[in-house]
Each structure stands twice: as C-alpha cells, then as structure tokens.
Amino acid sequence: MYNKHFSLFKIFNNFFSEIFKPKIKIAIISYYYGSSLSGVGIHVQNLAKYLTEIGCEVHIFCATEEEINYKHEGVIIHGIENIAMPIKSKISKKRLEYDLFESEVIKAIIRENSRSSFDIIHSQGALTKAAFLCKKKSENFWVHTFHAIESVRVKKLSKEEKEFSDLVTWIESTVNYCDGAIYVSNSLKKQSKNKYKIKNKLVIPNGVDLKIFKKSESKNKNVLFVGRFSKEKGIHLMPEFIEEVMKIENSSFTLIAPYKSLEGELLSIYKKITKLEKKYKSRVQLITKIQDKEKIAEYYTKCQVYIQPSSYESFGLCIIEAMASAKPVVAFKVGGIPEVILDCGILVKTKENFINEVIELLNNEKKAIKLGLKARKRAEEFDWNQIALKTLKYYKQIKNE
C-alpha cells in the first residue's frame, strides 16, 4: 500500500513540477530585429518567436528609433534608442552607433538581471562586447551565433567598408570567452577552426518559415535577387547580369537591395543600375526600401529564377526562402551555400557559367519548375520548429555542463 501511494505521489509530483517549473529565461542581443538590412534580424525574430512558442521567456535587446519596451509575438522587446551621430563618413558613423548601442545593452541587461537572472545570454553576429561584459559582471551563461567570420567577410567589402577591419577583428576576439558557439553551417565552423579557442561548438542552420514562404509556380521570365546593397552579395555584378537577361524576349529583372547610405564604390554601382532601370523601363526594377517578409514572399512567387552571386555567404537565408517558394537557385559555390542547396539548385564557379545557367532556366520553363519542386522538398528540412528545439536543447546542455 505504501509503495502504491508513494508511486502516485511521485507521478503527481513530477506532473506539477513540469507545469510549474520556471521557464528558461533568454536574452538575445542583436542590433537588428525583424525585416531589416541584415539577415541576422530576420533570424533573430524567428528564433525568438519559436522559442517563445515552446515555453521560453525571451527578451530581445535591439536598436530602435526611440527607447521603448513592448511585446511582439510573445517576445519581450527592449528597444535601445539608436543615437544618430553627426559624422560625415557613413561607415564610421555606423561603427560608432554599434559601440554606443552595446554600451546601452549592458545597462539594460544588468537592470533586467536584477529582477530575475537570465539563464542564457545569446549574442548574434559581430556585436559581442555586451555579452562578454555581462558574462564577466553577472556570470550568465553565454552562447554566441556566428553568422559570419567578420575578419574574413570584411575582405569582400568595398574599400570604404574595410576601414574598420582591425576593430571588427578585435571585437570578435571576445567570443573566445563564450560558453558555447553556434555556427549556421559546417563551412563556417570549419572556417573558424584556427581563429578561436572555443571548446563547445555546434552547427544549427538558419530556418525558414514554411507558413509564409509557400510553393508557387511562375509564368513570368523574371530573375530575382534579394540582399544588401553590398559587394559581398555580388551587387557589383548586377549591371552585367541585367544586360544579359534583357537580351531574352519578355524577360524582367527585380533587385531588392536595401541600404542606409551609399558612398564611393557602392554609389557608382547604384548609378549604373538606375541608368539601366531607365533604359529598360518596367522590365528592370530596383527596390531599395526594406520590405516585410510577406511582401518578399510575393516577389518569390513572381520569379522564375532566383540568383545569389555572393562572394561570401555563410548560409544564405534568401536562398532557403527562394527554395521554400519552389524556385530554382543559381549561386556561386562559396561558403555554406553548397551544403544548403546540395543538388537542388545550380552551383557555379565563374561569372560566365552563372549567366549561362540563368539564361538556360529562363528559356526552359519545365527544367525551372522541376528543379524548383526539388528545392522545396529540401527547404522543408529547415523548418523553424525544429531549429528552435535544437537551440533550446543546446541551451540546456550549456547550463548543465
């Protein structure tokens, strides 16, 4: 009788412990949140949303136009006011604004920690100083997600953007003190091998929201590019690509390439593209304003071919969105792109091959559709539900070690 009552007590105790156990509390640090100039912002929004759905308490520390706290999709947003600096050089201005942002994040996290301590601080991208200092001050566990190796990526940028390469490398070196590192691709993890001394590492790829990016077929001979107005994304190749595509009857070319400001080399590229936009009128469209994910999903449905001519790409968030929309992707064989696409798209090594493959897919609708359906099936392996569960499992592993 005693054993029976004890067993029942144990069952009820486990049941109520599971219901009332404290949620794991997470601080995610990211300058960007949601639709933005950076794929990191989209990644962070989705990760936070899906972590919340599986029972985590998620706080985002991000830059906003004014200091504001609010809830979005169950996530607690701590908006850090972006202090605009009166500096002529746009690149210098951006770097200083990043630095001021992190200083404010440190204060905001310490304040929230005083209410109840974070289980995990999760930094994203190149901004690691705040997480590093919070770990030192409050002894929080710190996980960092590498979306790039900044010391490598910066070499692919314009002359003006390279100005702060030494500063970027110095800041990123603080990740040697994190408790765990997440890489969005095996390629990125391999690239970091001799650069950092992090013991606990794991590859968790970017995810895709299959509810928004749905399978679709297009009858338009449209080529689509989505990405920052940056040389690393291949924006300097676009004038030549546009001219080649325009040789095909009834073809069109759409570029969604947001930017905050342009100068020097990038401004020159912009002028070339806008000149072609005027020359070919409605057939060429350059969109430089940030679009929300629902609007971008519409553009994927209208294209026949998606292109990603990046010279540096750790994963390729837009690639997986295009694949989820059942679109064939043509991309350079660099970074993490091959392990995302596998044989479900077209990988090339030269500019000439790139153009030839795009033209082939525009002229062969059946081939484009067949490859697009194969791409969709591959994209289903990157469902955000699974990515969030893997991330939560890693948080718990870091805490229990």
Q: Are residues 203 and 244 in the same domain?
A: no
Residue 100 has pLDDT above 60, yes or no: yes
Tell me the average pLDDT across 337-355.
97
Contact 178, 131 (CB under 8 A): yes
Q: Are residues 116 and 264 in the same domain?
A: no
The percent of residues above 90 in pLDDT, for the chain, comes to 68
Higher pLDDT, 274 or 16: 274
Tell me the average pLDDT across 28-45.
87
Q: What is the pLDDT of residue 20?
A: 44
The C-alpha angle with vertex 274 and arms to 296 and 325, in degrees rounded to 5, equals: 20
Kindly state whether residue 182 falls inside one of the protein's structural domains: yes
Relative to beta strand 68-72, strand 75-81 is: antiparallel
Q: What is the pLDDT of residue 150?
A: 66
Kindly state whether residue 213 falls inside one of the protein's structural domains: no
Q: What is the pLDDT of residue 194?
A: 81
Q: Are residues 234 and 367 in the same domain?
A: yes
pLDDT band at residue 139 under the 50/70/90 scheme: confident
Tell me the average pLDDT across 66-95.
78
Q: Are residues 56 and 124 in the same domain?
A: yes
Higher pLDDT, 157 or 244: 244
Buried/exposed 78-99: b ≥16 CB within 10 Å, e otherwise: bbbebeeeeeeebbebbbebbe
Question: Residue 329 in 3-state DSSP?
Answer: strand
Please, which residues have CB within 8 angstroms of residue 184's CB and are 6 or more apart in sequence?
145, 146, 147, 203, 204, 205, 206, 314, 315, 336
pLDDT band at residue 97 under the 50/70/90 scheme: confident
Kindly list the distances between the CA atom of residue 306 and the CA atoms of 4, 115, 211, 282, 388, in Å, as whole numbers in the listed order: 64, 47, 20, 19, 27
Tell me the average pLDDT across 185-192.
92
Higher pLDDT, 290 or 355: 355
Q: Are residues 371 and 394 in the same domain?
A: no
pLDDT band at residue 360 under the 50/70/90 scheme: very high
Question: Model's pTM, two decimal places?
Answer: 0.86
Q: What is the pLDDT of residue 35?
A: 73
Tell me the average pLDDT across 21-25.
78
Residue range of the domain that includes 117:
23-207+383-400
CA-to-CA distance for 362 and 220, rounded, in angstroms? 9
Q: Are residues 304 and 374 in the same domain?
A: yes
Tell me the average pLDDT across 164-170.
59
The C-alpha angle with vertex 100 and arms to 73 and 289, in degrees rounded to 5, equals: 55
Among 192, 110, 76, smallest CA distance to 145 is for 192
Q: Are residues 155 and 226 in the same domain?
A: no
- Helices H / strands E in the chain, number of each: 15, 14
Kindly state whether residue 187 falls inside one of the protein's structural domains: yes
Q: What is the pLDDT of residue 161?
A: 54
Residue 107 has pLDDT above 50, yes or no: yes
Name the residue with tokens 């077929």. 217
Tell me the average pLDDT across 143-171.
65
Among 162, 153, 173, 178, smallest CA distance to 38 is for 153
Kindly state whether residue 228 falls inside one of the protein's structural domains: yes
Higher pLDDT, 165 or 368: 368
Kindly list the distances between the CA atom of residue 14 and the CA atoms of 9, 17, 21, 141, in Å, as whole numbers in the listed order: 9, 5, 10, 27
Token code pair at residue 35: 């639709």
Q: Are residues 173 and 254 in the same domain?
A: no
Return phi, psi of residue 210, to 5°. -70, -10
Lowest-pLDDT range of 9-18, 58-67, 113-122? 9-18
Kindly state whether residue 314 falls inside one of the protein's structural domains: yes
Q: Are residues 183 and 54 in the same domain?
A: yes
Kindly state whether residue 2 falls inside one of the protein's structural domains: no
Relative to beta strand 57-64, strand 305-308 is: unpaired
Tell me the average pLDDT across 173-181.
90
Kindly state whether residue 262 falls inside one of the protein's structural domains: yes
CATH of the domain at 106: 3.40.50.2000
Q: Are residues 82 and 177 in the same domain?
A: yes
CA-to-CA distance for 36 and 337, rounded, in angstroms? 21
CA 217 to chain centre: 25
pLDDT band at residue 49 under the 50/70/90 scheme: very high
Q: What is the pLDDT of residue 269?
A: 97
Q: Are residues 350 and 339 in the same domain?
A: yes
Among 123, 178, 120, 187, smallest CA distance to 152 is for 187
pLDDT band at residue 23 under the 50/70/90 scheme: confident
Report how many domains make up the chain: 2
pLDDT tens digits along 271-316: 999 999 999 999 999 999 989 889 999 999 999 999 999 998 999 9
Q: Are residues 189 and 318 in the same domain?
A: no
Kindly state whether residue 17 falls inside one of the protein's structural domains: no
